[in-house]
């Protein structure tokens, strides 16, 4: 970050022309549109990102049993996401996003679902920075916007849970441009309401329409390289998502929002943003999981950075 800040001060005048600040404009999978890097938008600039993601799986873990299902074939989730990130100060960024999601299968007769999913907002703050090492606090929240069906899994586009996330992120940026980032988060997830007034979970029947969605944790480690601020950036990463409790999919049953979903993903991310216009790509694969599909996901994003907040800076 030191590198980036220095650059920011040096090239203040050419700031409009050159976007030096990397932004987490990457959209990841449906459940993880999360700010997870140590890059900040400078004060009074903002970025709009539009991205397309595609995630699909043929095999899934029914509890621990890895299986396919000829009555679904390949299950594909596509999403189009609009994100806006803004630098409130050089150390405090806000990021908001809203995805439109659709699902489909390649076989069988389950009806695909589509609609606007959950709006999310994040605040990322640089707590400490010294000799390339920095510590960041991130808080986020999401709230369902669309009135989609949450318990028609795996076709549902989301779980309808409100979430609140607290995250600690640590980053080391070497002068060479190499960096490592790690984070850990705790995600609170609210109970949800379903259309039915009784359901089975934890091997019993609940006579209510309120369903408990387990809380979750996530963690990630990234190793990458960035150049010219973060105009050019590439990284490899490993991510782990784990529910705190929850039940397992029963033999030959469908998934349910109470399930203890877990997954380990590994992937690659790159960004190229020579000027105010740029793009990014992300590819990831689920290596291991519980009660989830083994996804291969990719996304491409279009980034557009502006600093129209203060007109006088244009001079």
Partner 1 sequence: MKNINIKSILIFTGLAILGTSCDKNITEPLKEAYIPTKLDEKAGTWKTYILANSAEVAVAAPKAATDAAYLKELDSLKNKILPVLTPTNKDAIVYWGAGAVYRWNEIARELAARYNLAPAYNVEQGKYPVPDAANPLEEPKFPFANPPYTARALAYLSVAQYDALVSAWNYKFKYNRKAPSKNDASISALLPVSDLPSYPSEDAVVAGASYTILVAMFPGEVPYLDSKLAEAKNVRVWAGTNVPSDISAGDALGKVVGAKIMAKAKVDGMSAANNQTLVAGQIEAAKGRGVKETWLSQESPIRPPMLPNYGAVTTWNFDKATMAKIRPVLPYIVGSAEWQKEFEELEKINKSQTREQARIANYWADGAGSYTPPGHWSREAANLCYENKFSEVAMARALALVNTALMDAGIACWDTKYYYYTPRPQQFGLKTSVGLPNFPSYTSGHSTFSAAAATVLGSIFPAKAAEMNEKAKEASNSRIYGLIHFRVDCEMGLVHGAKIGEYAIARGKADGSGY
SS3 86: strand
Distance of closest approach, residue 289 Cβ to partner 1, in angstroms = 19
Q: How far apart are CA 37 and CA 53, in angstroms?
A: 19
Separation in Å, CA 121 to CA 7, 96, 305: 28, 4, 18
208 touches partner 1 (CB under 8 A):
yes
Span from 16-24, 205-213, 280-288, 306-314 in contact with partner 1 (CB under 8 A)? 205-213
Binding test (CB under 8 A) with partner 1, winner from 10, 11, 174, 200: 200
List 10, 11, 66, 205, residue binding partner 1 (CB under 8 A): 205
Q: Does 199 bind partner 1 (CB under 8 A)?
A: yes
Select from 43, 44, 112, 225 the one that contacts partner 1 (CB under 8 A).
Answer: 112
Contact status: 6 vs partner 1 (CB under 8 A): no
Task: Measure Cα distances from 122 to 37, 137, 192, 251, 304 in Å.
Answer: 12, 10, 22, 38, 19
User: If binding means CB under 8 A, how many residues of this protein chain bind partner 1?
Assistant: 52
Handedness of CA 79, 28, 297, 186 (dihedral sign): negative
Q: Does 203 bind partner 1 (CB under 8 A)?
A: yes
Residues 27-86 that bind partner 1 (CB under 8 A): 70-71
- State the minimum distance, in angstroms, from the CB of residue 143 to partner 1: 13
Q: Is 130 in the site for partner 1 (CB under 8 A)?
A: no
Residue whose CB is less far from partner 1, 140 or 293: 140
Quote the tokens at residue 195. Answer: 């259309």
> Is 107 a binder of partner 1 (CB under 8 A)?
yes
Contacts of 292 (CB under 8 A, 6+ apart): 60, 61, 255, 261, 262, 263, 286
By C-alpha distance, which of 265, 245, 133, 148 is closest to 189?
A: 245
Q: Per rule CB under 8 A, is residue 178 in the interface with partner 1?
A: no
Q: Which stretch binds partner 1 (CB under 8 A): 50-58, 94-102, 200-208, 294-302?
A: 200-208
Q: Whole-angstrom Cα distance, residue 103 to residue 54?
A: 10
CA distances from 284 to 54, 126, 263, 269, 298 (A): 11, 27, 12, 9, 6
Subset of 255-314 contacting partner 1 (CB under 8 A): 256
Spell out the residues 6+ positions from residue 55 whose beta carbon is closer than 8 angstroms to its own: 29, 30, 76, 77, 78, 295, 296, 297, 298
Place of tokens 């109470």: 258
Nearest approach in angstroms of CB 188 to partner 1 is: 6
Binding test (CB under 8 A) with partner 1, winner from 144, 154, 158, 212:
212
Binding site residues, partner 1, CB under 8 A: 70-71, 88-89, 91-92, 107-112, 123, 125, 127, 137, 139, 141, 147, 149, 151-152, 164-166, 186, 188, 190-191, 194-200, 203-208, 210-212, 215, 250-254, 256
């Amino acid at each position: 970050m030191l590198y980036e800040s220095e650059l920011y001060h040096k090239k203040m005048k050419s700031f409009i022309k050159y976007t030096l600040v990397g932004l987490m404009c990457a959209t990841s999978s449906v459940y993880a549109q999360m700010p997870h890097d140590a890059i900040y938008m400078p004060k009074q600039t903002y970025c709009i990102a539009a991205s397309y993601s595609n995630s699909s799986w043929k095999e899934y873990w029914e509890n621990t049993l890895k299986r396919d299902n000829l009555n679904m074939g390949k299950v594909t989730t596509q999403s189009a996401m609009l994100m806006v990130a803004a630098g409130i100060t050089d150390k405090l960024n806000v990021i908001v996003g809203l995805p439109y999601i659709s699902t489909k299968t390649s076989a069988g007769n389950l009806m695909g679902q589509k609609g606007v999913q959950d709006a999310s907002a994040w605040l990322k703050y640089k707590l400490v920075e010294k000799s390339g090492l920095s510590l960041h606090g991130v808080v986020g929240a999401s709230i369902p916007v669309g009135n989609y069906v949450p318990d028609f899994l795996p076709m549902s586009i989301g779980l309808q849970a409100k979430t609140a996330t607290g995250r600690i992120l640590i980053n080391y940026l070497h002068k060479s441009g190499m960096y490592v980032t790690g984070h850990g988060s705790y995600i609170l997830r609210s109970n949800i309401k379903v259309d039915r007034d009784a359901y089975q979970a934890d091997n019993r029947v609940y006579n209510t329409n309120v369903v408990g969605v387990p809380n979750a944790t996530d963690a990630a480690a990234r190793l990458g390289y960035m150049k010219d601020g973060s105009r050019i950036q590439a990284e490899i990463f490993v991510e782990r998502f784990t529910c705190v409790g929850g039940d397992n999919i029963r033999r030959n049953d469908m998934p349910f929002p109470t399930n203890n979903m877990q997954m380990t993903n590994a992937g690659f991310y790159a960004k190229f943003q020579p000027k105010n216009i740029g793009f990014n790509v992300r590819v990831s694969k689920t290596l291991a999981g519980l009660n989830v599909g083994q996804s291969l996901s990719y996304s491409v994003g279009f980034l557009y950075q502006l600093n129209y907040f203060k007109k006088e800076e244009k001079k």
